Structure 1
């Protein structure tokens, strides 16, 4: 007579499956620049220019972007997902976009890595500035 899996085997397999599923949200150093990571649609207003401080920026979690203003009147946008392990970035300060998961920092000017462990820049997102309105391109 063949015996089925033991209770212990079933519990271990279930635990391993749950652990794997939980870890899949934050991958490794893979590219996060695919267009499917952008939640908002083209033409959608994200902010007013006055909302973005010069030398800083603002995170828009629902749209999955960070909009920065490195210099007066120059606006940039990047993915808000860290390229290290795909945590959402937490803040913008002192000229960098900061991930609180492992301490990666990215330049507000071009998304380049200012402080590892991330090795890849934040992917740039296309925006359009018209008057005082910032929209997704």
Structure 2
């Protein structure tokens, strides 16, 4: 679980306890996708807002996830705040996978290791 999660309601929106628990569960579980070196220093800023539009009320969720050397952001607005949290969590998960692939040298290079094993087997 990401320990540093700041949840704020923007404007007149007040965050209730059930929404806080849901955000902590969803955003906190993103830690398992991060590389090990980034887990201790990760923190998330979650901003929840209710936006009055001409076709009805919408909820807007913005999450800024800070990892070493980078800031990952995702933003979405839907009719249901829980659905917006789910969508933002999926966006951040894909961004974290890309970040892990770029920073950890052995992730995503399986073909390179297979070629090395084949060439070593031929030499013997």
TM-score range, shorter chain: under 0.3
TM-score, normalised with respect to structure 2:
0.26
* TM-score, normalised by the number of residues in structure 1: 0.24
